[in-house]
Amino acid sequence: SSTFHRTDVAIIGAGPVGLFAIFECGMLKMRCHVVDALDMVGGQCTALYPEKPIYDIPGHPSIDAADLIDRLAEQAAPFAPTYHLGQQVEKLERTHEGRWQLTTSVGTVIDAQAVVVAAGVGAFGPNRPPLDGLAAYEGTSVFYMVRRKQDFAGKRVVIAGGGDSAVDWTLSLADIAERVYVIHRRPKFRAAPESVARMDALVRAGKVEMVVPYQLSGLEGADGQLTGVRVATLDGQEKTLPADALLAFFGLSMNLGPIADWGLNLDRNHIHVLPPSCATSAPGVFAIGDIASYPGKLKLILCGFAEAAQAAHAIHPLVHPGEALHFEYSTSKGVPGAA
């Protein structure tokens, strides 16, 4: 189901810096479409440390990363951004009109006057277990996240991993799945102690079977449908767990991926930009936040915010040619929707 959109600015990455770029562009009357590989906004803040306080955001002596993201999304909301989440930007091409066209992994096409690459350390994706034939089962009986709990009702589910996701989904699915196996290579789980205690209680009650210390070693089944998951101890003793689904929770990895193929001036996972505009070597393409590099660059959220403002001002004449930009403060201009 491909869709086509035409907009002023396309922002690649909905981390803290991409979110603030919506605000800065909005203040200069430029509409934004924002794409992120994750199915939520917030980038590293949401994916890696939502509950950790941040102490160096001006005006917030302490703010949890997830709260900062909520505030940034709220600050961007009056400018009515369109979010395209759960999809990776795969192609970035110049159009014959001199605009840019982005194509995502699910076929969304965005045609924009300017592009802001706020892609951080790259797109987030699941760490996959190294199993033969894995791809044939992905999305049908091997999953890295649960979209609908009900999809696992009455199923035999193998949950692999030793962190919070593995433990939380074990607790959640134990009452609707026919059987839940938990595989982990060590007896100790790195998860909230209270949740681990509840999982232990389910094991004692016979609702969950603990398979430790084991690792995934193979998949059995046909046509995308699993019938069993093979597991092995470190010294190679194997057994097969009868299963309809495998949920693997091995964390997220980041991958610069297709960005490396876009012809931008790349240096070890960073895009070289020209300060203060943050212009890349491609006309109309700007890079800000963790992915941008220039002499003296600090990888801090607050520097990314400033870069968002600088890039927005550099983009303004591309989107509104000939319109003089009279610099104003946000207080004198007023934010649409704000009281």
Q: Which amino acid is at 11?
A: I
Provide the 10 A C-beta neighbour count for residue 338: 8
Q: Which of 7, 88, 293, 310 binds ligand FAD (CB under 6 A)?
A: 88
The footprint of ligand FAD on residues 184-223 (CB under 6 A) is: none
The DSSP result for 212-270, as a single string, is: TT-EEEEEEEETTEEEEEEEE-TT--EEEEE-SEEEE---EEEE-GGGGGS---EETTE
Give the side-chain half-sphere CA count within 13 A for 60. 16
Closest approach, Cβ 113 to ligand FAD, in A, equals 19
Quote the crossing angle between the two packed helices 193-204 and 164-173, to the nearest 10°. 40
Closest approach, Cβ 337 to ligand FAD, in A, equals 23
Rounded Cα distance, 96 and 58, in Å: 43
Within 25-96, strands assigned E span 32-36, 53-54, 63-64, 82-85, 89-94
Does residue number 89 form part of the binding site for ligand FAD (CB under 6 A)?
A: yes
Does residue number 81 form part of the binding site for ligand FAD (CB under 6 A)?
A: no
Does residue number 261 form part of the binding site for ligand FAD (CB under 6 A)?
A: no
18 or 162: whose CB is closer to ligand FAD?
Answer: 18
Closest approach, Cβ 11 to ligand FAD, in A, equals 9
Q: Which of 9, 10, 11, 17 binds ligand FAD (CB under 6 A)?
A: 17
Neighbour-count burial of 115, counting CB atoms closer than 10 A to its CB (0-12 exposed, 13-18 middle, 19+ buried): buried
Does residue number 289 form part of the binding site for ligand FAD (CB under 6 A)?
A: yes
Candidates 72-80, 117-125, 239-247, 314-322; binding stretch for ligand FAD (CB under 6 A): 117-125
44 annotated as a binding-site residue: yes
Rounded Cα distance, 152 and 72, in Å: 35
Rounded Cα distance, 49 and 124, in Å: 14
Candidates 265-273, 274-282, 293-301, 331-339; binding stretch for ligand FAD (CB under 6 A): 293-301
Q: Strand, coil or helix: what is 150?
A: helix
Cβ neighbours of residue 177 under 8 Å, at least 6 residues apart? 152, 153, 154, 155, 156, 157
4 annotated as a binding-site residue: no
214 or 262: whose CB is closer to ligand FAD?
Answer: 262
27 or 301: whose CB is closer to ligand FAD?
Answer: 301
294 annotated as a binding-site residue: no
Q: Which of 15, 26, 221, 284 binds ligand FAD (CB under 6 A)?
A: 15
As annotated, the binding site for FAD includes 36, 44, 49, 89, 124, 290, 331
Residues of this chain that interact with ligand FAD (CB under 6 A) are 12-18, 35-38, 43-45, 48-49, 54, 56, 88-89, 118-124, 257-259, 289-290, 299-302, 304
